[in-house]
Structure 1
């Protein structure tokens, strides 16, 4: 190849890169100004919220009791909250650091609550042993 051909190809590649960067910046500016999501997305999420709410009410309708009842109710509640946070609060499109800053603390609170539940059983056992030996 001649030096002129390499120069022309380099200019074409540079122009293509410039066009790509320009399009990326323009789409980023459009997103920063306020990108509109399709209405179908919101209707589908509303449909899922309706289905999950119906399932939550059916748990009571069918008379499910005990740990299964509370597990199902909490599962449906967490799924509904996740849909609302992801779509209606636009967390699905946020930076990962912001999502961690908002979502990580409640997860850690749930972990600590679980630890306290196990610790409460141990504390209860010690109190039963202590007060039983006092009589």
Structure 2
């Protein structure tokens, strides 16, 4: 009986995959519309990154079956990239401070 269950596996309805595929198509369309409309500056990049993160989240949750995994496994997979992003943001802010202090106290170097 256990052998029969292991061969069967977990089945997800095809409708779920089609809905996610449709959502990915819609999000991609919105991402291209941001450029087509001509939004510039921070709103443009914010919208593009938002749509990118939403698409990545859908792909990870549904196509990589992370939505059905244990919470510990989700933390193991998602926590390190979030930490990398936090550390990259800290380094970027520190680099701005460093260049500003160098320009203030050492001059522009012409």
In structure 1, how many angstroms separate the alpha carbons of the residues matched to 2:57 and 2:17? 14
User: Where has structure 1 moved over 3 Å in runs of 4 or more?
Assistant: 29-33
In structure 2, how many angstroms separate the alpha carbons of the residues matched to 1:116 and 1:66? 22
Which of 80, 84, 94 matches 2:59? 84
Greater alpha carbon shift after TM alignment, 125-134 vs 115-124: 125-134
The answer for the alignment partner of 1:120 in structure 2 is 95
* Structure 1: gaps spanning 5 or more residues: 1-25
* Structure 2: gaps spanning 5 or more residues: none
Task: Point out the structure with max Rg over C-alpha.
Answer: 1
Does 2:54 align with 1:54? Answer: no
In terms of fraction of residues, the more helix-rich structure is 1
Which of 39, 45, 51 matches 1:64? 39
Which of 71, 78, 88 matches 1:96? 71
- Residue correspondences, number: 108
CA pair 100-115 structure 1, distance change in 2 beyond 3 A: same
Any idea what the Cα deviations from partners look like across 1:37-82, whole Å, max 9, x if unmatched?
Answer: 0111001100110010000000100111111111111111110000
Q: TM-score, normalised by structure 2?
A: 0.88
Higher relative contact order, chain-length normalized (CA < 8 Å, sep 6+): 2
